[in-house]
């Protein structure tokens, strides 16, 4: 189950009867106004439509539909007041680009947040790196991905997570459902996941969560003190307000006042310089650090002009105070970061920071290192009456599944070590003479996880 009900639901090739979409309580349905079976549909929650304004955008193709959501105060506090969601269902054709809609029509440039999602019927290594592609599949998908990266759009999918599971046993799972977010929307994308089971189709639902970024810089503020009054005075002389309503009511009078106030504020803001925080502003920075920094640099400049012992002592004292305050300010957010992360994610982040590939091993629920993985595998494949296996058995299997060191062909290994014992030796160690081996052994194939 989802922690919160969805607000927008995009469906490709939806079920319909006589070209009528099914209805669901609490949702409004939208589809292209074309006769026949609808190819795409978007359901909007009534709670979202009650608080915000939503409008549909139809395209030349019936396999494409967009919904614009207008937010008066900006999406999650951003300056963008419009947010677009586009649902796409690409059909195969016999002519280039071998899909029903051109990539430039789907992944067009928009200055406001735009999310493109749907069944693209494409196979690409960035989405499914374990699949062997034919030349035609790679050429077709590359055209769409190149068009996305030129705008640019960013792929929201988690690489390697399948979205289609065929009902037959011949075809393998694949990644056909893709989602792209443009530059204005990428900071607001929190997660992409497939937590829900299949709803009867061979495609599983994909859930995309949007939330405001952790660090939201305040909007720029106009500097009224630097306003050129002479230039603004001439413009204000020609400014006229709209006529007041002949028979004013509370609503009409409030609307008239809002329009006049917005026009006057926009006029003054256009002639004033804006001042905003630097994009490289640190989240732990404070006004106290700014004053300490100014004091330190002031004493440093004075000491360069007059290098007396008194001035140098002030420089050392102010420098010590300044850097100590920085260390204390960094300590609080770092402690919060450590409390919310796991040792495995921290180790992976450290290896990425040092430009090293993360160490990969079997990802099992409730395990964080190789020892726990080994104990889980032993307890699952070789259940015992004792609830806890001996530590020596777990360490023996851990040495077996640990990735082997690289070897140089044509010479000895740079780090020679004793090869791990084969699987029958492990099982005899655990179960003694009761264990018999068949040929070939079927219980633990010789492989190294990657």
Residue 30 pLDDT: 92
CB atoms near residue 270 (< 10 Å)? 10
Domain definitions of the chain by residue range:
8-210, 287-340, 343-404+418-450
- Model's pTM, two decimal places? 0.53
What ranges in 354-432 are assigned the alpha helix state H? 370-381, 391-401, 423-431
Residues 180, 155 contacting (CB under 8 angstroms): yes
Could you give the CA distance from residue 160 to residue 324 in angstroms, rounded to a whole number?
45
pLDDT at res. 404? 47
Q: What local confidence, expressed as pLDDT, does residue 340 receive?
A: 63
Nearest-CA neighbor of 39 among 69, 68, 59?
59
Query: Rounded distance, CA 116 to CA 155, Å?
Result: 10
Q: Which residues of the chain have pLDDT under 50?
A: 389, 391-394, 396-418, 420-450
User: Quick one: 182 exposed, middle or buried, by C-beta within 10 A (0-12, 13-18, 19+)?
Assistant: buried
Nearest to 283 by CA among 323, 329, 319: 329
What is the rounded CA–CA span in Å between residue 363 and residue 35? 49
- Dihedral sign, CA of 215, 220, 225, 226? positive
292-295 own/partner pairs: CB under 8 Å, 24+ apart: 292/318, 292/321, 292/322, 292/325, 293/322, 295/322
Torsion angle in degrees (nearest 10) through CA of 95, 99, 103, 105: 100
Report the topology of domain 8-210. Answer: Deoxyribonuclease I; Chain A (3.60.10)
Question: pLDDT value at position 427?
Answer: 46
- Whole-Å CA distances, 404 to 63, 205, 322: 50, 38, 49
């Amino acid at each position: 189950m989802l922690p919160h009900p969805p607000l927008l639901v995009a469906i490709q090739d939806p079920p319909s009867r006589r070209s009528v979409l099914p209805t669901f309580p609490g949702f409004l349905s939208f589809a292209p106004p074309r006769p026949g079976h609808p190819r795409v549909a978007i359901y909007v929650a009534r709670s979202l439509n009650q608080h915000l304004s939503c409008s549909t955008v139809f395209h030349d193709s019936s396999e494409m539909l967009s919904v614009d959501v207008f937010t008066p105060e900006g999406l999650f506090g951003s300056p963008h007041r419009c947010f677009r969601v586009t649902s796409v269902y690409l059909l195969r054709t016999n002519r280039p680009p071998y899909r029903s809609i051109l990539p430039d029509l789907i992944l067009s440039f928009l200055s406001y947040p735009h999310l493109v999602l749907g069944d693209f019927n494409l196979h690409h290594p960035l989405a499914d790196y374990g699949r062997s592609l034919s030349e035609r599949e790679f050429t077709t998908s590359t055209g769409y991905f190149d068009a996305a990266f030129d705008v640019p759009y960013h792929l929201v999918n988690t690489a390697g997570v399948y979205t289609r599971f065929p009902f037959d046993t011949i075809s393998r799972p694949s990644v056909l459902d893709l989602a792209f977010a443009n530059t204005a929307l990428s900071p607001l994308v929190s997660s992409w996941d497939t937590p829900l089971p299949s709803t009867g189709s061979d495609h599983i639902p994909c859930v995309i969560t949007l939330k405001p970024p952790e660090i939201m810089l305040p909007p720029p503020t106009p500097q009224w003190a630097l306003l050129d009054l002479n230039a603004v005075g001439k413009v204000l002389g020609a400014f006229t307000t709209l006529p007041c309503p002949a028979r004013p009511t509370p609503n009409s009078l409030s609307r008239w006042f809002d329009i006049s106030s917005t026009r006057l504020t926009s006029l003054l803001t256009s002639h004033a310089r804006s001042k905003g925080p630097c994009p490289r502003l640190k989240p732990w920075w404070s006004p106290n650090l700014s004053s300490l920094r100014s004091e330190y640099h002031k004493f440093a400049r004075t000491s360069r002009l007059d290098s007396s012992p008194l001035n140098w002592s002030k420089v050392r004292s102010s420098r010590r105070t300044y850097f100590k305050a920085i260390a204390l300010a960094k300590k609080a957010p770092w402690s919060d970061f450590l409390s919310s992360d796991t040792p495995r994610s921290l180790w992976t982040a450290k290896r990425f920071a040092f430009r090293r590939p993360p160490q990969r091993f079997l990802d099992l629920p409730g395990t964080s290192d190789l020892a726990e993985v080994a104990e889980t595998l032993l307890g699952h494949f070789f259940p015992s009456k004792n609830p806890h296996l001996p530590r020596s058995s777990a360490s023996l299997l851990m040495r077996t599944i640990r990735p082997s060191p690289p070897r140089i062909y044509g010479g000895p290994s740079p780090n020679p070590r004793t090869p791990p014992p084969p699987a029958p030796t492990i099982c005899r160690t655990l179960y003694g003479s009761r264990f018999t081996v068949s040929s070939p052994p079927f219980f633990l194939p010789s492989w190294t996880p990657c």
